Amino acid sequence: MSVNHFWTAFAFEPFMNALLIGLSVASVWLIAALGLAIVYGTMGVINMAHGEFVMLGAYSAFVLETVVGVPFLLCVPAAFVIVGLIGAAIERGLVRHLYKRPLDTLLATWGLSLVLIQGVRLILGPEPKNLQSPAWLNASLRVWVFELSWFRVFIFGVTIAAFVLTWWLLHRTRLGLMVRAVMQNKEMAAVHGIDAGKVFTLTFAYGAGLAGLAGSMFGAIKNVFPDMGSGYIVEAFLVVVVGGVGSLLGSLFSSIGLGEIYSVFAYFTNGTFAKFWLFLLVVIFLRFRPQGLFADAMARR
Amino acid sequence: MRSNLYHNTTAQWIVYVVFFALMAFVPIVIDDTFTTNLFARFLVLGMLALSVSLVWGFGGILSLGQGIAFGLAAYGMGMTMQMQSQDPESSPIPSFMLTNELTKLPLLWEPFWHTPTGIVLALLVPTVFFLIFGAMMFQARVAGVFVAIVTLAMLSAWYSMAFDMQPYTAGFNGISPPSPLKLGEHIVDPYSNEAYWIALGMLTLATLGLKLLLQSKFGLIVQAVREDPERARFLGYSVSGYQIAVFTVSGFVAALAGVLWVMIVQYVSPTSLEVTFSVSMVIWAAVGGRMSLLGAILGAFFVNGIQSYLGDEMLYGFLLVLGGLFILIVRFLPSGLAGLLESLLERLVRRPADQRGQ
């Protein structure tokens, strides 16, 4: 970066595209954050290994595609299932024992993320892998002044589908009713015959699966490498915290807001500088609204 | 009724003083400049674990942003030492600025011409930052995991700043001052015993000072706030005031570590602001025992000792083991090795007492 050309002047067409990129960034952050939001909202568990679930999703898609020969579009749901199963195992083996100590789950899952990163690095090697996506996804789409790759549109579509599906599961199914009951009052739900342990395992597995789904797509835009997950984790947390814990709609609005702020700042200055201001703004925002945008839509305990 | 020796303050003070006194002889015994320098680095990392122990173990505030204070102070010290090698007439600005198209020294760098001002700024700026940042968080009653996330976000913000402001911070490469720290006419050779003793002296002062502080009424209230903020508030204590104070002091200790670090390694880069580094500090404190100042320091020695013993080739394997160890400690030994000692000593006094009871 040079100081002399630090500021970019306003121009209509690139600026409109920056706004569009903001939405695209928002969809990436939202799909990365959705699983985290559900897990934190339901269980009060801060899963620091969420980024590594993203990474595992990318690797499972990569292995399926190159070793087994599964077409890319099938790898995406497959990554959801595989990482979901891994998530269920981790909930049973580790997270379950730490529910009463939220700070310790944060630390234990951070230890877990170290293990996952290094484990993958040792088994599959540190070099970035290339996940192939169909040619038509890499083509560009042009409407009026807007220009966007089909892949971004694809991620956008998958994110909306995942969001709607999650909302439907939570609010329109019996399972979702049970999840919300446990979210509001675990003991009371248990009295009514809901197996909270099973609900937690399912929720954690679903959250992990969403991360895996996200990873299978992220791996195709960029590369697949062991610590790719750490590039999403902070943003995903911010989306959850700004949106308000336990509020899906909050996560939606906060991801759009943060994505647009980031993209507009990035347009006028540059990416890293934009991130600095974004993080700073979030800290200031939380000073005045620590409960997030949509406060306690479904109060936890 | 005998009480647990672990909780005996006199015994604690004896252990602390004996430990630091013994540490002073380390460079005389090893007599190898490279190893002396390595041990001096461990002392500084121990100081970081100390700051985590204070803020997290005693204050109950899980800060993942201790690296902010460390990194800012390290940059301040790096700038000070860099400017010692510059000359107002012949070479007024560092060479990395020239390659970044800067023609005159940025205003940000001006105060660092003067070494004492530079060092004071390196300590003061992070401390004041922690004061303001802490006030913002704790007055809004941000607590628990939210503190962890907000500090993490702040740390990432500073990291991207240090990384990106290449003309001012030399970006990814970092600042490597060409010569060691000069205090007046005196040169502090990073590989000398003197540098080790400076680090040890500072660590001793910081540890004993914090120990005094934590044994005082202030320290007891801080721990009361950790145990139950609501109850402390109802008793009339300003919860946010105590939290801000603890957070600020921990920031100062981490800043001191940052200054000493650059004195010893003569280099500062954005890695000092990396998330992994800040979380590592928490791991060291957790392994040694976050509720014990000395335990946290020993945790840092222990983990970093193993890491440098295994060397760089084993690094990935080491991180795998470290992650696993950390999971096990959090799961089965939440108060770390110091907690293990506590329960062992407890068993020692419990057994005869139980027999008397029968």
Q: Do A108 and B327 touch (CB under 8 A)?
A: yes
**Band (A5; pLDDT cuts 50, 70, 90):** low
CA distance B110 to B117: 10
Upper half-sphere CA count for residue A246 (Cβ side, 13 Å): 18
Whether B305 maps to a domain, the answer reads no
Could you tell me the two tokens for A153?
């549109």
Confidence of residue A164 (pLDDT cuts 50, 70, 90): very high
Instruction: Return the residue of A nearest to B158 by Cα.
Output: A276
Does B352 contact A at CB distance below 8 Å? no
Q: What would you measure as the largest C-alpha separation in chain B, in angstroms? A: 86
Q: Tell whether A281 lies on the interface with B, counting CB pairs under 8 A.
A: no
Q: Is the Cβ of A280 closer than 8 Å to some Cβ of chain B?
A: yes
| B336 lies in some domain | no
**In this structure, what token pair is assigned to residue A282?**
């979030």
- Interface A–B counts its CB contacts (< 8 A) at 136
What does the pLDDT look like over A92-106, one tens digit per residue?
A: 988 888 887 777 888
Chain A hits for B156, Cβ within 8 Å: 234, 275, 279
Q: Where along chain A do its domains lie?
A: 33-133+148-228
Any A CB within 8 A of B150 CB? yes
CB contact under 8 A, A111 and B320: no
Examine residue B318 and state whether it is found in any structural domain, yes or no: no
| Residue type present at position A243 | G
Cβ within 8 Å, pair A237-B164: no
Please indicate if any CB of chain B lies within 8 Å of the CB of A93: no
∠ CA A129-A134-A139, rounded to 5°: 105
Residue with tokens 């004061």: B131
Alpha-helical segments (H) within B173-238: 193-215, 217-227, 229-234
Indicate the residue of B141, B153, B323 with minimum beta-carbon distance to A112: B323
Give the closest-approach CA distance of B91 to chain A in angstroms.
21
Output the DSSP codes for B213-225: HHHSHHHHHHHHH
- Does A282 reach chain B within 8 Å, measured CB to CB? yes
User: Is residue B43 less than 8 Å (CB to CB) from chain A?
Assistant: no
Among chain B residues, CA nearest to A111? B323
Distance from CA of A166 to the nearest CA of B (A): 24
Minimum Cα–Cα distance from A234: chain B residue: B153
Quote the pLDDT of residue B224: 94
Long-range contacts of B348-351 (CB under 8 A, 24+ apart): B348/B5, B349/B2, B349/B3, B349/B4, B349/B5
pLDDT at A216 over 60: yes
In 3-state terms chain B splits into helix, strand, coil percentages (rounded to 5) of 75, 5, 20
Asked if residues A57 and A72 have their Cβ atoms less than 8 Å apart, the reply is: no
What is the pLDDT, as a whole number, of residue A297? 45
Q: Which residue of B has its CA nearest to A107?
A: B330
The amino acid occupying position B270 is P
Decide if A46 and B100 are in contact by the 8 Å CB cutoff. Answer: no
Min Cα separation A214/chain B (Å):
21
ipTM given for this complex: 0.83
Where does A35-170 show beta strands of DSSP type E?
A: 140-143, 146-149
Percentage of chain B beyond pLDDT 70 is 95
What is the Cα–Cα distance from A191 to A196, expressed in whole angstroms? 10
Section B59-81 average pLDDT: 94
| Percent of chain A predicted with pLDDT > 90 | 26
- Rounded Cα distance between B260 and A218, Å, is 41
Residue type, B230: E
CA distance B21 to B110: 40
Give me the number of domains chain B comprises. Answer: 1
Exposed / middle / buried, residue A140 (Cβ in 10 Å: 0-12, 13-18, 19+): exposed
Nearest by CB to A279, which of B153, B286, B324? Answer: B153
Residue B93 sits at the chain A interface (C-beta within 8 Å): no
The answer to whether A102 contacts chain B (CB < 8 Å) is yes
Kindly identify which residue of chain A lies nearest to residue B137, measuring between CA atoms.
Answer: A287
Residue B260, H or E segment: helix B239-265
Average model confidence (pLDDT) across chain B: 89
Give the single-character DSSP code of A290. Answer: T
| CB-based contact, A123 to chain B, within 8 Å | no
Closest Cα partner for B148 from B66, B229, B232? B66
Q: B86 lies in a domain?
A: yes
Tell me how far apart the alpha carbons of residues B171 and B164 are, in angstroms, rounded to a whole number.
6
**What are the chain A neighbours of B324 within 8 Å (beta carbons)?**
111, 115
Taking a C-beta distance cutoff of 8 angstroms, is the pair A107, B330 a contact? yes
Chain A touched by B135 (CB under 8 Å):
no
Domain span at residue B236 reads 5-275
Average pLDDT of the residues in A140-168: 85
**Which of the residue ranges A291-295, B159-163, B349-353 would you say has the lowest mean pLDDT?**
B349-353
Contacts A114 to B, Cβ<8 Å: 319-320, 322-323, 326
Distance of residue A201 Cα from the nearest chain B Cα, in angstroms: 18
B198, pLDDT greater than 90: yes
The closest CB to that of A103, out of B144, B319, B325, belongs to B144
Contacts of A103 (CB under 8 A, 6+ apart): B62, B144, B145, B148
Higher pLDDT, B202 or A13: B202
Q: Quick one: average pLDDT of A198-223?
A: 91
Q: Answer whether A241's CB lies under 8 Å from A291's CB.
A: no
